[in-house]
Chains A and B, each alone.
Chain A
Amino acid sequence: MADPRDEPSGADQGVVTTQPTTEATPPPVVPERGAPPPPTGVLGLLVREQSIIVPLVAVVAALLIGALLIRAQGVNPTYAYQTLFTYSFLTADGLQGTFEKMVPLILCGLAVVIPLRVGLFNIGAQGQLMAGAIAAAATAHAVREAPGVIIAVVAMVAGILFGAMWGSIAGALKATRGVHEVISTIMLNSIAAGLIDYLVNGPFKDPSSPYPASYSAPDASRFVPLGVVPIGLPIALVLAVLVAWMLRRTTLGFQFETIGRNRHAASYAGIKLSGMIVLAMAIAGGLAGLAGSVEYLEIDPYRYQDGIAGSLGFDGITIALLARSNPLGTIPAALLVGALRAGSSNLSFNTGLQPEIVDMLLAITLLLVSLPIIAKLIFRRHTAKSSALASSWGS
């Protein structure tokens, strides 16, 4: 590199150079105008690979902070983590549990990733998942006499449609009235919870159940795992690949991306913003709704009851941010989060730690990965302006 202030030669390394600065004038140039040289060596590697390094650092840091807290409770952190991950990955029950958790986590992660690409922050995967689960429960009961495969397909389609409808409400509010999607999706989460609470206490209540719950899925429609692999897992993996393909290779993905990167240019290019916003939220809601259906069909007790959704929808946000809004990145992110979730009760049993330690680890991870400030402190001026989407809310 002959002159650090030379022509922007780092273009294809993801370094945005606004204007090359003047070389002759002695007074210091205004800092934000400067075009720094593309970094080399270790820093350069960090900058180029930051989409992997930032989440890795966040996870490692969270585990270290978690270690301190575990130690404070008088438990050896090495032993605790060993117990946790040995169970989640190296025992048949644990591995199956990890995989079962992965399914809704991947789907909810995707439900956050797609809107992020359009510049929307979907907090509503939780409500969309619940909408999907209750729709699956209702339709499965309605067609309970049909063959198992039919029931399963009908339940999944219903979950997708109802989740999509739930998501598109927020999209339509945004597109037509400018209602901020964070607000509307949070409120729709509460509405979904209230509505479903009513349904499982009233019209959809299984009279044979001692507590409020829907009818259980007919035996024939229940997903039986293939060894330790639940049927939902291949479905989720295929969808992650499909979403990656959609965003990368299709005209639809191009429209989503263009809106997220420059709304004005998208409108100039003839992309119909409001339609695309509703569609993105509908697809997101559909994926979360499918997660709800699969939970219903795959997880004991095979019925909609309080707590079925857990915090899966909110974990989707962690997943999406850990994945740096990359659809394929949701897979390793979901593997990690799934392992933590699946191993938490075993950890508690063996060490006496509260299972909530896992929630805390996830919260710390989310905090670290979602603080774009951290990335900015490290990568200031080396970050492409428009890739802010990957490190922040994108709105």
Chain B
Amino acid sequence: MSDQPTATVHSSAQSSAEPAEPAEREAERLLDIAGLSKSYGTVRANRDISLHVRRGEIVALLGENGAGKSTLVKQIFGLVKPDEGTITIKGDASPVRDPRDAIRRGIGMVHQHFQLVPVMTVAENMILGHETTSRGVLDIEGARKLVRELSAKHGLKVDPDAEIEDLPVGTQQRVEILKALSRRVDLLILDEPTAVLTPQETDELLSVMKELAAGGTSIVFITHKLREVLAAADRVYVLRQGAVVGEVATSDTDARGLATMMVGRDVVLRVDKDEAKPGRDVLSIKDLVVLDDRNLRAVDGFTLDVRAGEIVGVAGVEGNGQRELVEAIAGMRPPQSGSINLLGKDITRANPRDTHVAGVGHIPEDRERHGLVASYSIADNLVLNRFSEKPFANGFVRDFDEVRKNAEALFQEFDIRAAGVGARAGSLSGGNKQKVVVAREMSFGPKLLMAAQPTRGVDVGSIEFIHRRIVAARDEGAAVLLVSAELDEVLSLADRIAVIHGGKVVAEMPGGDVDRTEIGRLMAGDH
């Protein structure tokens, strides 16, 4: 491994304009994508993406959530139609009409959420959709044989008679892979295959991938975990905000190089702010352990203090316990052990209601799921967690006048652009939805403002606005805990930075002029 990562950060426009390569190299390209773009409304999910995959090669698509990886592979598999650009599969540049067409042309895909029927056996699932019959009766013996053959051929052990719901997730995924392989597959797409796996299952999957590639199958897999890229991929494309920002052979790079590419070197969004004047401790977290949905220790001995009047930014590669940390503080996920204190009050096991009353404002990571009720009016959403408090209710009865007045005031203050306070929250753009959440969580004078990915999927104008408001909240004396996958955001806002890796703080440093490669190294777990 060389000391200098030789990542080629290229503008994709340039590569798509490249003259045709020699015929022999062209021939070994199984997949060739040129100038692919896709927009959803005003969100540009993919921007002028060009990439290629050779036969027997493992290519990783690396990037944060929302970088456009899934949209990209969905277009290859025919689930989404590109706005512009071409997808050439084995020299055939005709558009991929639908998944059936993709399968016919040798593309297989394993989705992040498995498409298996839980109450049916492995063999039954294997032939689902293209059942073979003998004399009108389902040929289940043939299906069993198929599973055993494929199993032996690819070294993927599966019992054909096991019911899917009884199998561990890792084995279910094997079934998915076998199912894809049961139709002649030249290129296998794996959408975040390790997201649901335990570390051991992940290792097994990576070695299976390598064996498949050695047998001539090309693999494209999506991930945001650097370790997996380095362990399995031959080459990696790094995506950021819908565009390919780098392409590099894994033999020419290391975790640090990849982290740097991933977090980008965009112009830092400058936020004007004065020096922080930190006061007393507001939030104090000690040795916190929180389990994730798979009962693994996502937060594992996390200790951090946040003082009044300062912004502490938690930087880290996504999936290192940030989500579980935030949910634990908000009272949505009871911690396993450790303690959370707010102004001397123990809120370790408080529920979301008590946490809110204690003074925690929480801008949740997933605003569509947690932050808003899409079919409610903006006014109702602005009191979503305060509907029963004065003046919005007198005892049992809600006061709609006060709810509307509150909404009208916040409309002005937070520059929410909508048809009116009665418009449904679901009708707003991403930026305005987020402003509704931000307005609600800031307007009650929180002691602690916890902002998780506060500007994800938000337009630039709203990003700037939300950043200014976060700084304003700090200046009014709130303690701010900022959790963001965007290193730029952490760097431009935080007065103090805590780097999280493997569920614990691996380094703390003052904000301001910090060495971003140093942070990238720490984020990658190199400490």
Q: What is the interface of chain A, defined by CB distance below 8 A to chain B?
A: 8-9, 11-12, 14-22, 25, 27-28, 30, 33, 35, 249-252, 254-255, 258, 261-262, 264-272, 384-387
CB neighbours of B81 from chain A (8 A):
27-28, 30
B397 at the interface (CB under 8 A from A): yes
- 28 examples of A-B residue contacts, CB within 8 angstroms: A11-B418, A12-B422, A12-B424, A15-B427, A16-B427, A17-B426, A18-B41, A18-B426, A19-B40, A20-B42, A25-B83, A28-B81, A249-B397, A249-B398, A250-B398, A251-B397, A258-B384, A261-B373, A261-B375, A262-B369, A270-B352, A270-B356, A271-B353, A384-B426, A385-B375, A386-B373, A386-B374, A386-B426
Closest-by-CB residue of A relative to B83 is A25
CB-contact partner of A33 in B40, B351, B387, B424, under 8 A: B40
Inter-chain contact A251/B387, CB cutoff 8 Å: yes
CB neighbours of A20 from chain B (8 A):
41-42
Inter-chain contact A25/B426, CB cutoff 8 Å: no
CB neighbours of B396 from chain A (8 A):
250-252
Q: How far is the CA of A1 from the CA of B219 in the complex (A)?
A: 48
Known interface pairs A22-B83, A268-B330, A269-B384; 5 further A-B residue pairs with C-beta atoms within 8 A, sorted by A's residue number: A12-B423, A19-B42, A28-B81, A254-B398, A270-B354
Inter-chain contact B426/A265, CB cutoff 8 Å: no
From residue A266, how far is it (CB to closest CB) to chain B in Å?
8
CB neighbours of B418 from chain A (8 A):
11
Inter-chain contact B41/A21, CB cutoff 8 Å: yes
Q: How far is the CA of A16 from the CA of B424 in the complex (A)?
A: 8
B414 at the interface (CB under 8 A from A): no
Q: Interface 1/0s, chain B 95-124, versus A by CB < 8 A? A: 000000000000000000000000000000
Inter-chain contact A265/B384, CB cutoff 8 Å: yes
CB neighbours of A14 from chain B (8 A):
424
Inter-chain contact B385/A269, CB cutoff 8 Å: yes
B80 at the interface (CB under 8 A from A): yes
Closest-by-CB residue of A relative to B37 is A25
From residue B79, how far is it (CB to closest CB) to chain A in Å?
9
CB neighbours of B39 from chain A (8 A):
22, 25
CB neighbours of B364 from chain A (8 A):
268
Closest-by-CB residue of B relative to A246 is B396
Inter-chain contact A270/B419, CB cutoff 8 Å: no
Inter-chain contact A385/B352, CB cutoff 8 Å: no
Q: How far is the CA of A192 from the CA of B17 in the complex (A)?
A: 76
Inter-chain contact B353/A11, CB cutoff 8 Å: no
Inter-chain contact B83/A261, CB cutoff 8 Å: no
Inter-chain contact B369/A265, CB cutoff 8 Å: yes
CB neighbours of B351 from chain A (8 A):
270, 272
Inter-chain contact B427/A11, CB cutoff 8 Å: yes
Q: What is the interface of chain B, defined by CB distance below 8 A to chain A?
A: 39-43, 80-84, 330-332, 351-356, 362, 364, 369-376, 380, 384-385, 387-388, 393, 396-398, 400, 418-420, 422-424, 426-427, 429
Q: How far is the CA of A251 from the CA of B353 in the complex (A)?
A: 14
Closest-by-CB residue of A relative to B418 is A11
Q: How far is the CA of A33 from the CA of B38 in the complex (A)?
A: 12
CB-contact partner of B41 in A11, A22, A250, A385, under 8 A: A22
A16-B424, A251-B387, A252-B396 known; A262+B373 contact, CB < 8 A: yes
Inter-chain contact A270/B353, CB cutoff 8 Å: yes
CB neighbours of A19 from chain B (8 A):
40-43, 429
Closest-by-CB residue of A relative to B376 is A261
CB-contact partner of A251 in B352, B354, B393, B427, under 8 A: B393
Closest-by-CB residue of A relative to B327 is A268
User: Of B362, B364, B385, B418, which is in contact with the most chain A CB atoms at under 10 Å from its CB?
Assistant: B385
From residue A7, how far is it (CB to closest CB) to chain B in Å?
9
User: Of A17, A33, A264, which is in contact with the most chain B CB atoms at under 10 Å from its CB?
Assistant: A264
Inter-chain contact A262/B374, CB cutoff 8 Å: yes
CB neighbours of A384 from chain B (8 A):
375, 424, 426
Q: How far is the CA of A268 from the CA of B374 in the complex (A)?
A: 14
Closest-by-CB residue of A relative to B366 is A264
Inter-chain contact B423/A11, CB cutoff 8 Å: yes
From residue B333, how far is it (CB to closest CB) to chain A in Å?
11
The 4 residue pairs across chains A and B that have the minimum distance between CB atoms: A19-B41, A270-B353, A386-B375, A11-B427
From residue B430, how far is it (CB to closest CB) to chain A in Å?
8
CB neighbours of A28 from chain B (8 A):
81
Inter-chain contact B419/A9, CB cutoff 8 Å: yes
From residue A149, how far is it (CB to closest CB) to chain B in Å?
28
From residue B271, how far is it (CB to closest CB) to chain A in Å?
27
Closest-by-CB residue of A relative to B331 is A270
Q: How far is the CA of A261 from the CA of B380 in the complex (A)?
A: 13
CB neighbours of B385 from chain A (8 A):
268-270
Inter-chain contact A12/B420, CB cutoff 8 Å: yes
CB neighbours of B331 from chain A (8 A):
270
Inter-chain contact A250/B397, CB cutoff 8 Å: yes
Q: How far is the CA of A23 from the CA of B332 in the complex (A)?
A: 41
A250-B396, A251-B387 known; A16+B352 contact, CB < 8 A: no
CB neighbours of A30 from chain B (8 A):
80-81
User: Of B397, B418, B427, which is in contact with the most chain A CB atoms at under 10 Å from its CB?
Assistant: B427
User: Of A8, A25, A30, A386, which is in contact with the most chain B CB atoms at under 10 Å from its CB?
Assistant: A8
Q: How far is the CA of A135 from the CA of B370 in the complex (A)?
A: 42
Q: How far is the CA of A14 from the CA of B462 in the complex (A)?
A: 26
Closest-by-CB residue of B relative to A265 is B373
Closest-by-CB residue of A relative to B356 is A270
Q: How far is the CA of A124 from the CA of B418 in the complex (A)?
A: 43
CB neighbours of B400 from chain A (8 A):
249
Inter-chain contact B373/A251, CB cutoff 8 Å: no
Closest-by-CB residue of B relative to A259 is B373
From residue B485, how far is it (CB to closest CB) to chain A in Å?
20
CB neighbours of A249 from chain B (8 A):
397-398, 400
Q: How far is the CA of A187 from the CA of B352 in the complex (A)?
A: 35
Closest-by-CB residue of B relative to A248 is B398
CB neighbours of A8 from chain B (8 A):
427
Q: How far is the CA of A255 from the CA of B398 in the complex (A)?
A: 11
Inter-chain contact B419/A269, CB cutoff 8 Å: no
From residue A341, how far is it (CB to closest CB) to chain B in Å?
35
From residue B36, how far is it (CB to closest CB) to chain A in Å?
12
CB neighbours of A251 from chain B (8 A):
387-388, 393, 396-398
Q: How far is the CA of A15 from the CA of B376 in the complex (A)?
A: 12
A27-B83, A30-B80 known; A258+B370 contact, CB < 8 A: no
Closest-by-CB residue of B relative to A271 is B353
From residue B392, how far is it (CB to closest CB) to chain A in Å?
9
From residue A392, how far is it (CB to closest CB) to chain B in Å?
14
CB neighbours of B397 from chain A (8 A):
249-251
CB neighbours of A33 from chain B (8 A):
40-41
From residue A16, how far is it (CB to closest CB) to chain B in Å?
5
CB-contact partner of A258 in B80, B373, B426, B427, under 8 A: B373
From residue A250, how far is it (CB to closest CB) to chain B in Å?
5
CB-contact partner of B426 in A21, A22, A272, A385, under 8 A: A385
Q: How far is the CA of A11 from the CA of B427 in the complex (A)?
A: 6
From residue B378, how far is it (CB to closest CB) to chain A in Å?
10
Q: How far is the CA of A21 from the CA of B356 in the complex (A)?
A: 37
CB neighbours of A254 from chain B (8 A):
380, 387-388, 398
Q: How far is the CA of A258 from the CA of B384 in the complex (A)?
A: 9
CB neighbours of B332 from chain A (8 A):
267-268
Closest-by-CB residue of A relative to B354 is A270
CB neighbours of A266 from chain B (8 A):
373
Q: How far is the CA of A15 from the CA of B398 in the complex (A)?
A: 26
A11-B419, A252-B396 known; A385+B374 contact, CB < 8 A: yes
Q: How far is the CA of A28 from the CA of B97 in the complex (A)?
A: 12
Q: How far is the CA of A21 from the CA of B429 in the complex (A)?
A: 12
